[in-house]
Amino acid sequence: MKTIVKPLCAIVMGASVLTGCGNDASYSKIKKSGTLVVGMQANYAPFSYYKDGKLTGYDVDVARLVAKKLGLKVKFRTMDNDRLVTELDDGKIDITGNQQVISYKKLDANTEVPYYFSKPYKYSRMVVITRKSNTTIKHFDDQRNQKVAMSRGDFFEDSVLADGGDIVDQKDFDACMKAVENKKAVDTMNDLLAFQYYMKKHPQANLKGSVLSARLFPLTFMVKGTDQTLATKIDKAVKSLQDAGTLSDLSMKYFYQDISKEK
């Protein structure tokens, strides 16, 4: 049996390790067009967000570098988090950036792998965010039976639901922050760097990080399971950028620390 799991477990395998019945048709079409179409969240600073009308961020710049390695131009389609996987499935984008969720699913040995994952291009620590006055959320499992602000398709949606949490659906990261601050939700869970960036922009926000994950989570690009050739090439491009120190330099530019490697 094959097991397809959410990215925090699956991506460490890398696209080149996963096997399936992929073919060259999609990659040939992409090469002919000369453009790699990448799906990104529109409001997820500092990873993908608009600044002065231009899409920017760490994930955006990494995607540009990957496309360049493949000899392609890059076109971004921005959308809410819950649309990324659907757009990938529908062939409207070639790969997704940011964090995605894939439900646990058992596949028999002859079933095609639904998605491939590149080598990680960043490592993230997760944080539970509450109002400053909150004294009840001290562990991740304290979210059980609580209202948790989250956008559908978020990295930890499945685990929150499995623990009996009640998802208060929000459009994006900023909306999750406001839902917690306005007492529509008890907490939210997301990337530590995204939270730190938000607090720099909103220093008066009545929010705090209550719980920090002990482990780093590897994050990746996601490709359709039928696009094995594309997945393998992206995997090699990410590795090349890692080996050259390019991702380390880019990481230092955005974060003053190297999030491109697991420490």
Q: Which residue has the tokens 């008066």?
A: 204
The pLDDT value given to residue 23: 59
- Lookup: tokens for 53: 């009308």
Instruction: Catalogue all structural domains in the chain, each as residue range(s) with its CATH number.
Output: 2-122+217-255 (3.40.190.10), 126-212 (3.40.190.10)
At 171-208, the pLDDT tens digits run 899 999 999 999 999 999 989 999 999 999 999 999 99
Q: Which residue has the tokens 């649309």?
A: 83
The pLDDT value given to residue 7: 39
The pLDDT value given to residue 36: 97
The pLDDT value given to residue 16: 37
| Banded model confidence at residue 57, pLDDT cuts 50, 70, 90 | very high
Question: Positive or negative, the Cα torsion across 191, 10, 98, 259?
Answer: positive
Long-range contacts at 254-259 (CB < 8 A, ≥ 24 apart):
254/46, 254/57, 254/58, 255/46, 255/58, 255/193, 259/58, 259/122, 259/123, 259/124, 259/193
Q: Say if residue 21's pLDDT is above 70.
A: no
Buried b (16+ CB within 10 A) or exposed e, 130-165: bbeebeebeebebbeebbbbbbebbbbbebbeebeb
At 200-257, the pLDDT tens digits run 999 999 999 999 988 888 888 999 988 989 999 999 999 999 999 999 999 999 999 9
The pLDDT value given to residue 4: 36
Instruction: Please choose, from the candidates 57, 26, 9, 83, the residue with its C-alpha nearest in 3D space to the C-alpha of residue 223.
Output: 26
Rounded-to-integer distance, Cα 235 and Cα 237, Å: 5
Q: Which of 22-31, 93-102, 135-144, 241-250 has the highest mean predicted lDDT (pLDDT)?
A: 241-250
Query: What is the layout of strands, in order, in the sheet containing 43-44?
Result: 43-44, 48-51, 54-56
Contact 203, 209 (CB under 8 A): no
* Angle at which helices 228-243 and 246-255 cross, to 10°: 70
Contacts of 114 (CB under 8 A, 6+ apart): 4, 102, 105, 224, 225
What average pLDDT is seen over the chain?
A: 85
Q: Say if residue 10's pLDDT is above 60.
A: no
Q: State what percent of residues in the chain have pLDDT above 70.
A: 85
